[in-house]
Amino acid sequence: MKILVCISNVPDTTAKITFTDNDTRLNKNGVQYIIGPYDDYALARGVELKDQTGGTLTVLHVGEAEADPQIRKALAIGADDAIRVNADPLDSYFVAVQIANVAKQNNYDLILMGRESIDYNSGVVHGLVAEMLGIASYSPVMKLDIADGSATISREIDGGKEILKAPLPLVLGCQEPIAEWKIPNMRGIMTARTKPLTVVEPVSVDELTVPEKYFLPAPKGACKMIPASEAATLIRLLQTEAKVL
């Protein structure tokens, strides 16, 4: 089985977000980058499925060379090889076209992604890619097993869950508890250095959306403290002052 895992390169979940250049760019100063946490779940399950089925696993990132350490980490976790589409992506559509283009040339059985990126939080790249390839996509997937050319998927739906059986190929957006995050071991880190990381140039895409300016939320007012002994008065305040009851 041929598996592709798409990873985004995003600021760490604890990063303080600020902007520069007249609020037109993210300030990368002092920001630690990581593989998207949902993509990390996808990668972990991908590695398990690869080991079970004796298949191959490729990781793909659309972005610049600054992501190479995160791509190497994915190789250390268990991917066999990596592709980076060398571009400065500006929207979901652009990223999806690049992923679909790589996928068309390689006929993957399974394309795993995270449920959403934690920078732009769109949750649309899987659907875009799948439609471009003319195949099905499901998200968020919380359990995934593969047997006899089809996938059994446990998926969250509004207020519950659904179990589906769908034939491969598929594009899936993953979230916990699909697998536990994997930490690279020493051997993985050593072998990752020599695994192939191919850099390819992007195909051109019409500009559909253009980011213009960034801004931060208005600062929060002070917290009103209520003594524990008068806890019950909180309910009245919520009703009369905050007007949320």
Partner 1 sequence: MSVLIYVELDNGSIKKTSLEAVAYGAKVAEKTGDKAVVLAIGRADATALEIAGNYGASKVLHAADDKLSHENSLAYADALAQAAEQEGSKIIILSKSGLGDAMAARAAAKLKAGVVSNVTALPEINGSFKVTRGIFTGKAFATTELKSDIKILVIKKNVIEINEDDVASANAVVETFSPQLRDADFQASVVNVEKASSELSLTEARIIVSGGRGMKGPEHWQPLVDLARALGAATGCSKPVSDLDWRPHHEHIGQTGIKVAPNLYIACGISGAIQHLAGVNGSKCIVVINKDPEAPFFKAADYGIVGDVFEILPKLTEAAKNL
Ligand X SMILES: Cc1cc2nc3c(=O)[nH]c(=O)nc-3n(C[C@H](O)[C@H](O)[C@H](O)COP(=O)(O)OP(=O)(O)OC[C@H]3O[C@@H](n4cnc5c(N)ncnc54)[C@H](O)[C@@H]3O)c2cc1C
Of 121 and 229, the one with the shorter C-beta distance to ligand X is 121
Interior/surface letters 206-226, b for 16+ CB within 10 angstroms, e for the rest? eeeeeeeebeeeeeeeeeeee
Q: Which residue stretch of 50-58, 72-80, 182-190, 204-212 sits at the interface with partner 1 (rule: CB under 8 A)? A: 204-212
Contacts 24+ apart (CB under 8 A), 158-161: none
- 27-86 positions binding ligand X, by CB under 6 A: 36-39, 60-63
Q: Tell me the CA distances in angstroms from 46 to 42, 57, 90, 99, one per residue in order.
A: 6, 7, 27, 17
- What's the CA gap between 70 and 44, in Å, rounded? 14
* Of the candidate residues 20, 122, 185, 233, the single one contacting ligand X (CB under 6 A): 122
The region of 56-64, 103-111, 191-199, 203-211 touching partner 1 under the rule CB under 8 A is 203-211
Q: Are 46 and 57 in contact (CB under 8 A)?
A: yes
**Residue 149 interacts with, from partner 1, ligand X, none (CB under 5-8 Å by kind):** none
Site for partner 1 in 13-42 (CB under 8 A): 13-14, 17, 19, 37-38
Q: Decide: is 197 part of the binding site for ligand X (CB under 6 A).
A: no
HSE at residue 189, side-chain half, CA atoms within 13 A, is: 6
Nearer to partner 1, 186 or 244 (CB): 244
For partner 1, the binding residue among 25, 28, 104, 236 (CB under 8 A) is 236
Q: Is 187 in the site for partner 1 (CB under 8 A)?
A: no
Of 106, 155, 103, which is closest to residue 133 (Cα–Cα)?
103
Binding site for ligand X (CB under 6 A): 6-8, 13, 36-39, 60-63, 88-92, 95, 113-114, 116-117, 119-126, 211
